[in-house]
Amino acid sequence: MKKKFLGLVALSCVITFMSSCSDESSSSSTNSGDVENLDPAKETPAYKELNTNFTLLDLLYFYGHSRDELADDVDAYFGKGSSKDAKDPGGQTACTKEYYDVCYMYNQMADAYTHYYDPSVAPMIAEQMMASGDYDLVGIESEPSEIEDGLFVITSVSDEAKELGLRVGDVYGLGDVYQGMEDAESDTISMYVLRDGEIAEVKAVVGFVSKPTVYLHYEKNEKGDSIPVIQITEFSSQSIDGAGTYEEFKKALKQTEKYKSLIIDLRENGGGDIEECYPMTAEFLAKGDTSVIDVVTDVDSVKKDGKTKLVQIFDTTAVVAEKDGSAKDRYLVMLENDWSASCSEVLLSALGISKKAPIVGELSYGKQIGQFYVFGNEEGLMPDFLVPEGLAIITTIVSYDKNWGLFQDVGIVPDFEISDPDEQMAKAVELATEAKYERTAGYGKEKLGHFSKEAERAGGKLGHKVVKPKYRIIR
């Protein structure tokens, strides 16, 4: 719910053919869902890709049948695409002309997180989604700058980067990096940095850089005592040094185990891999406690008129702590803002309910749906007719809290609504010091309007924030 809220990502995704299941939905009456009866009349690669993706939506898209969004026949989308369908919400090319029809079909789905990228751009998009990191400066280490959100200060520089002009203490933004990439003809770019209060022009090498997703620092309270703050920037299975977010988080918990109170900072964290955030939540729960209830689309096979047909079904799973968490007895305060989403909201909701952990900040984003990512089939785990040439991102999951509550598109209300980041932290430190306050707030009441294609195209929050969605990885 950008993996990434929970998202679902798989370079080789697995479809489980179940012999018994619940809540069977009606499958569309096209040949695309029929294993033995694919239409042989249209054999162009583009039509085959359209047909494959229609089948994926038919079987996996959560709202395809429940909201009757998907047409009954793939030909309803054939020949309908145009250049208007070429871009994704962030302005990235999603489809070249040959695949306009596929992007057109996906754009008819009302869900804003259901997307497609054609074979020419899919590998690059998949690489960015799988790893924690982004295109950044090579040969440096950096950390968030205190000057302004979105800026980074360089803390170490390699000899090669120093030779090009970078220095320890230089401050830069990723926007400067991207602008330099657009203007450059190679990996070496020109860009501007802030150095000793003045603007300096430097050269730098740019590449895809893996980064930590967990940062630990300490805040002082009025008594001069230290309060540990664990900041989680996203939930990824591939972060710095090959570790995932959960492994980074466990190290931070171990380093702070002598402290009775802890602040978890989830501001600006848009979510990620639920295989990372679910066990992180369990570290604070007692054995047998439920953190989340997932309702997920799955696939079943049925016999009809002597033929095997695939149909969409819904499977329900409660995620339960298998043992006492290592931090179940620690007092917890959480920080959120309007970009805390998905996996972040799993922690906020679950720990707000089970531990009554207070929340400080602003109303969260409100994303309680997750996506399935289909790209490639190296391990041969899927039938060929369900493997697209491009990248399919399909909403397949709706998650509920342990009481079957929903914050989808209404957000999680903080106990202390504070907009200034410094004041948010000060309040969190105060609460962590006293270690008494219990959460009383709940979920929002009014729709925020984040979850429609119309909201995307209007250039609102969704439009500029979903450049790099977060998804769950299924192995």
Query: What's the CATH code of the domain at 341?
Result: 3.90.226.10
| 354 in the same domain as 245 | yes
What is the mean predicted confidence (pLDDT) over 347-368? 97
Residue 76 near residue 50, CB atoms below 8 Å? no
How does 154-177 read in b/e, with b if 16+ C-beta sit within 10 Å? beebeeebeebbbeeebbbbeebb
**Among the three residues 210, 228, 250, which one is the final residue of a domain in this structure?**
210
- Comparing 127 with 40, the larger pLDDT belongs to 127
Residue 247 has pLDDT above 80, yes or no: yes
**Range of lowest pLDDT (6-15, 28-37, 106-115, 136-145):** 6-15
Helices (H) and strands (E) in the chain, counts: 12, 19
**Range of lowest pLDDT (367-371, 444-448, 451-455):** 451-455
The tokens describing 29, both together, are: 């009456």
Number of separate domains in the chain: 2
Residue 80, classified by CB atoms within 10 Å of its CB into exposed (0-12), middle (13-18) or buried (19+), is: middle
Report the SS3 class of residue 367.
coil
- Comparing 49 with 136, the larger pLDDT belongs to 49
CA atoms within 13 A on the CB side of 452: 6
Q: What's residue 331's pLDDT?
A: 98
Measured between alpha carbons, how far is 342 from 113 in angstroms, rounded to an integer?
A: 12
Residue 368 near residue 292, CB atoms below 8 Å? no
Q: What's residue 424's pLDDT?
A: 97
Phi and psi based region of residue 69 (left: phi greater than 0; alpha: psi -120 to 50; beta: remaining): alpha
| 70 in the same domain as 219 | yes
Residue 72 near residue 31, CB atoms below 8 Å? no
Residue 351 has pLDDT above 50, yes or no: yes
| 242 in the same domain as 150 | no
- Comparing 459 with 259, the larger pLDDT belongs to 259
| 108 in the same domain as 38 | yes
**Could you tell me what percentage of the chain is helix, strand and coil, using 3-state DSSP and rounding each to the nearest 5?**
25, 30, 45
| 235 in the same domain as 198 | no
Query: What pTM was computed for the model?
Result: 0.76
| 87 in the same domain as 101 | yes
Provide DSSP, 20-44.
Answer: S-BS--PPPSSGGGBTT----S---
Residue 311 near residue 302, CB atoms below 8 Å? yes
Instruction: Please state, for a pLDDT cut of 90, what percent of the chain lies above it.
Output: 56
What range does the domain containing 153 cover?
134-210
Confidence of residue 144 (pLDDT cuts 50, 70, 90): confident
**Among the three residues 167, 184, 210, which one is the final residue of a domain in this structure?**
210
| 73 in the same domain as 3 | yes
Provide DSSP, 380-441.
Answer: --S-GGG--SSEEEEEEEEEE-TTS---TTT-B--SEE--SHHHHHHHHHHHHHH-------
| 346 in the same domain as 217 | yes
- Comparing CA positions, the residue from 204, 127, 210 lying closest to residue 173 is 204
pLDDT tens-place string over residues 147-173: 877 788 999 999 999 999 999 999 998
Residue 354 near residue 368, CB atoms below 8 Å? no
Q: What's residue 99's pLDDT?
A: 94
| 151 in the same domain as 11 | no
What is the mean predicted confidence (pLDDT) over 225-250? 88
What is the mean predicted confidence (pLDDT) over 116-128? 84
**Range of lowest pLDDT (25-29, 39-43, 86-90, 120-124):** 25-29
pLDDT tens-place string over residues 11-32: 233 333 222 233 444 444 444 4
Confidence of residue 380 (pLDDT cuts 50, 70, 90): low
**Range of lowest pLDDT (306-315, 349-358, 406-415):** 306-315
Q: What's residue 383's pLDDT?
A: 73
**Residue corresponding to tokens 């992180």:** 280
Query: What's the CATH code of the domain at 193?
Result: 2.30.42.10
| 315 in the same domain as 171 | no
Measured between alpha carbons, how far is 343 from 469 in angstroms, rounded to an integer?
A: 12
| 153 in the same domain as 116 | no
Q: What's residue 461's pLDDT?
A: 36
Confidence of residue 468 (pLDDT cuts 50, 70, 90): very low
The tokens describing 337, both together, are: 């803002």
**Among the three residues 179, 210, 241, which one is the final residue of a domain in this structure?**
210
| 28 in the same domain as 142 | no
Quote the mean pLDDT of the chain: 83
**Residue corresponding to tokens 């984003």:** 365
Q: What's residue 381's pLDDT?
A: 64
